[in-house]
Structure 1
Amino acid sequence: MIAVTGATGNVGRALVHRLLAAGRPVRALTRDPQRAALPAGADVVRLQPDDPATLFDGATALFLYAHPRAADLLAGARAHGVRQVVLLSSAIVQEGADETHPIHVMHATVEQQIRDSGLDWTFLRPGAFATNALQWAPQIRAGNTVRGVFAGALSAPVHEDDIAAVAERALLDGGHEGAVHRLTGPAATTNAEQVAVIGAAVGRELTFVESDPREAGPELFPHAPPQMVERLLQTFADSVGVPPEITDTVEKVTGTPARTFAAWTRDHTEDFRGPA
């Protein structure tokens, strides 16, 4: 049995589908099982760190994201027979990084907790997620103009299912113990270029209009805590015109090249078209 936290998130959901397709039993841990809409083959359980037996009895491996109570989850997992953990970390964790950045603090803290847990571990450190482009979906469904910050910010967006594919191999194959896998898409693209690619997929010419970052607020970063927005804006500003890290780790681990942003867009076209 493999326990998957964040089972309704982009990567977690893709991983649940992959593991079930591979014939592996999955316990999908989520805050709201009634709304999870996960495959019938998954054992869907409410994620309650104070009830580790329900979460981990019968499980031997755990897929974990940087949960605020990761230490409790790790202790409960080990006590109930889990021996392996694969962490969805972040590419911001690397030598020379700004260790005060909130995203770095969050992920580096959980990485250290895992190192201290005694479990076999593998860290996945993806860069920009292609799913970040979904932040523009409401604007694209409403019209042909997308307002955002830093049109020229460069990234190499990685498909969430490519991250899940690497997680699957780390969980099912030997040889990934103690490995740190840095994951990216195959090519650099700017924010403006991404919007143009989405436009081609939905059959409309879209225009990216750059907003003043000083005026950026909740409408541009709806899921970011207010105290994090300033640091995120600085991170994006620093990426303008700067080639991003590009790795071939997805292909090395899975045998299949990482998918392009255009391929990701084709998989998510309906998210941008909205209801008919």
Structure 2
Amino acid sequence: MTILVTGGRGRIARAVTTRLHAAGLPVRVAGSRPAELAAPTGVETVELALGRPETFATALRGVRQVFLYPEPAGIGALIEEAGAAGVEHVVLLSSSAVLGPDPEEDPLADHHLRVERALAGSALTATFLRPDAFASNALGWAHPVSRAQPVQLPYPDAGVVPVHPEDIADIAVEALTGGRLAGRALTLTGAEPLTFREQLAVLADVLGREIPVERITRDEAERQLSAFMPAPLVGSLLDFWQRADAEPVAVADTTATLLGRPARSFRQWAAEHADAFAPGRTAV
């Protein structure tokens, strides 16, 4: 019973693959550029490109479960091929954005929602993992922090519940290897609500140096983010931060509630990634 992990270059996919392989389970890793996949020794890598249906059959041969990164382009053909290949269960890495207001009008939410709806309308059992803010989003602050510059934010007091990526991987593996989570839609958070200002205070404590915070306008934030992010996604992100500023995100499903073990904290994530914020750091 092979488990196929798609989006093999992603951080969550790599962590899921490592766990499955360490458990001795047959796992295959797929991506649009298989030569760039860094899979553990002995793990098969294959091409799977949603824009190229001819890659589906080989990737899905002998597969019964799939860990799926969301991509609406070609999802219908992939689901059809998966059913024909005997796939029984898909664990989708979705997003809590699908639960926001008017998700069809939100580019980020709609991207995930279309995949969720395609799976929900199929004969496959589907588990939706809907993580909220990742703890690793804090890497976006590495550039100013490593240069002792203020972190500029339009909504520094937006309240989120950052989830450690390793917790998401643990929950994904449980969904792939056990029956308790099959067919459920799970909103994933960490266990501790933190504003952006509070996250930076934790990071400052871990690093042993002050991190100044500077409030900027939404327009200025939009200008900055647009330098490396498509405009529709910038608007989606800023809308989320604005909502979280007015009404902080609540704690939802965690490894404690789902797996019976404590959730990893933002402080733990910060300690693990302190090097990314080191003075003079040029890349994350």
Q: TM-score with structure 2 length normalisation?
A: 0.89
- Per the TM alignment, residue 141 of structure 1 is displaced from its structure 2 partner at its CA by 2.1
Aligned equivalents of 1:81 and 1:213: distance in 2? 49
2:216 pairs with one of 211, 215, 223:
211
Q: Shift of the alpha carbon at 1:42?
A: 2.3
Note the 1:30-179 alignment, pairs <5 A: 30-49=31-50, 50=53, 51-69=55-73, 70-94=75-99, 97-99=101-103, 100-179=105-184
Which 4+ runs in 1 deviate beyond 3 A?
217-224
Q: CA deviation at 1:248?
A: 4.2
Maintained 8 Å contact 1:52/1:80: no
**Structure 2 CA distance for partners of 1:23 and 1:222, relative to 1, 3 Å:** farther
- Where 1:114 maps in the other structure, the secondary structure is helix
Spell out, residue by residue over 1:1-53, the C-alpha distance to the aligned partner (whole angstroms, 9 max, x if none): 11111222121121111111211122111233333333223222232232112
Structure 1 counterpart of 2:49, one-letter code: Q
* Aligned-pair identity (%): 38
TM-score, normalised to structure 1, is 0.91
Cα distance change of structure 1 residues 168 and 198 upon mapping to structure 2, 3 Å threshold: same
How far did residue 246 of structure 1 move? Answer: 0.3
The residue identity in structure 1 corresponding to 2:120 is R
Counterparts of 1:31 and 1:140, CA distance in 2:
34
Aligned Cα RMSD in Å? Answer: 2.1
For the 8 Å contact 2:94–2:129, the answer to whether it is kept is: yes
Shift of 1:221: 5.8
The match for 2:189 is 184
Unpaired runs of 5+ residues, structure 1, are none
Q: Does 1:194 align with 2:170?
A: no
Alignment deviations for residues 160-205 of structure 1 (CA, whole Å, 9 cap, x no partner)? 1111111111110013332111110111111122122222223322
Partner of 1:92, secondary structure, is helix
Q: Distance in 1 between matches of 2:277 and 2:207?
A: 7
Amino acid at match of 1:250: T
Cα distance in 2 between the residues matched to 1:203 and 1:31: 42
* 3-state SS of paired residue (1:239): helix
- Aligned-partner Cα distance in 2 for 1:275–1:101: 33
Distance verdict in 2 for CA 1:72–1:218, change over 3 Å: farther
Question: Higher helix share goes to which structure?
Answer: 2
Are residue 260 (structure 1) and residue 265 (structure 2) matched?
Answer: yes
Separation of aligned partners in 1, 2:204 and 2:40 = 31
Aligned residues: 275
What are the ranges of 5 or more consecutive residues in structure 2 without an aligned counterpart?
Answer: none
Q: Which deviates further from its counterpart, 69-78 or 17-26? A: 69-78
- Opposite residue 78 of structure 2, the aligned amino acid is L
Larger CA deviation: 105-114 vs 38-47? 38-47
Contact 1:19–1:26 (8 Å) recurs in 2 = yes
CA distance in 2, matches of 1:86, 1:248: 16
